[in-house]
Amino acid sequence: MAVPGHQTASPSQAGFTGPILRKARAFYELTKPTIVLLILVTAYATLWIASDSPPSLWLSFTTVLGAALAAGSANAINCYYDRDIDQVMSRTRKRPVPAGQVTPREALVFGIVTGVLSVVLLSWLVHPLAAFWALAGNLFYVFVYTMWLKRSTPQNIVIGGAAGSVPPLIAWAAVHGTVAWPAVILFLIIFLWTPPHFWALALFRHEDYARAGVPMLPVVKGSHATKVQILVYTVLLAVVSLLLVPAGAAGWLYAVLAAAFGGYFIYLAWLTLKDPGDRAAKRLFGYSIIYLALVFAAAVIDRHLWIL
């Protein structure tokens, strides 16, 4: 029964819009929206950390949109290039390209177009330096990580993590037209966070990576060596996160919160090292997802506590 005053779509309209919506959703999934969301959180938070007052809505919108387009572009091209191994891995075989929702050519064109749009938008509406960092991160992810490191070395995540660490550089350049030490420290926080985050995932997905021939650290060096590396990088991450204080970008409140968040991260990494199974690794991976948001939020709150 139709609702009074509500116009329902005709069968022909529904038949037309259904495939369009499914296609649009497939392109959306190509961007790996969960990863993009994390990038947007760090970029937007950096705008606040870099500013003495709340950043304007226009600057926030254009910077975050440009960063999102750049990240989505890199992820779409990654889906195009990795379609062979995505088909093999249970975690990725439902992605749009291996699932047949998007053709490889469509994925590649979509990735290139969104990448060009990100550079045009950021250089025109934000700042050329912001556009430079977005493009640099995009190219590094595609050519250095995806096409070279991912399939050739167990250190793929360590070096490739630099690509996903550029949002603070983009956002800082958007505010100041330059890059300062606090932006570099924020970059390093994401850079050092990447190995324990992805290696925790790889610990309980190592069979997937082995089947696909991807030399992730647990596949090449084994579980124990990976857990040791996770602990080492987690300790480095916790220490580096505190450098925002001497850099003048945060104060005592951030120091307390960052120390607590980092300390808990180290505790979970230690439990992972001692756990012969996967339970602790899954717990560590779950916490790592929210850790970055917690640290960046702490820096924002500390910086703009006077607003509250």
| pLDDT tens string 248-307 | 999 999 999 999 999 999 999 999 999 988 899 999 999 999 999 999 999 999 999 765
User: What is the amino acid identity at position 9?
Assistant: A
Provide CB contacts within 8 A for 273, sequence distance 6+.
224, 227, 228, 230, 231
Residue 39 has pLDDT above 70, yes or no: yes
Nearest Cα to Cα of residue 182 among 169, 192, 191: 169
Q: State the SS3 of the chain.
A: CCCCCCCCCCHHHHHHHHHHHHHHHHHHHHCCHHHHHHHHHHHHHHHHHHCCCCCCHHHHHHHHHHHHHHHHHHHHHHHHHCHHHHHHCCCCCCCCCCCCCCCHHHHHHHHHHHHHHHHHHHHHHHCHHHHHHHHHHHHHHHHHHHHHHCCCCCCHHHHHCCHHHCHHHHHHHHHHCCCCHHHHHHHHHHHHHHHHHHHHHHHHCHHHHHHHCCCCHHHHCCHHHHHHHHHHHHHHHHHHHHHHCCCCCCCHHHHHHHHHHHHHHHHHHHHHHHCCCCHHHHHHHHHHHHHHHHHHHHHHHHHCHHHC
Can you give the pLDDT at residue 306?
Answer: 62
- pTM for the predicted model, two decimal places: 0.90
Nearest Cα to Cα of residue 95 among 212, 190, 219: 212
pLDDT range class, residue 91, cuts 50, 70, 90: confident
Can you give the pLDDT at residue 307?
Answer: 56
Higher pLDDT, 184 or 156: 184
Tokens of 244: 């925002």
Residue 230 has pLDDT above 50, yes or no: yes
> Can you say how many angstroms the Cα of residue 282 is from the centroid of all Cα atoms in its chain?
18
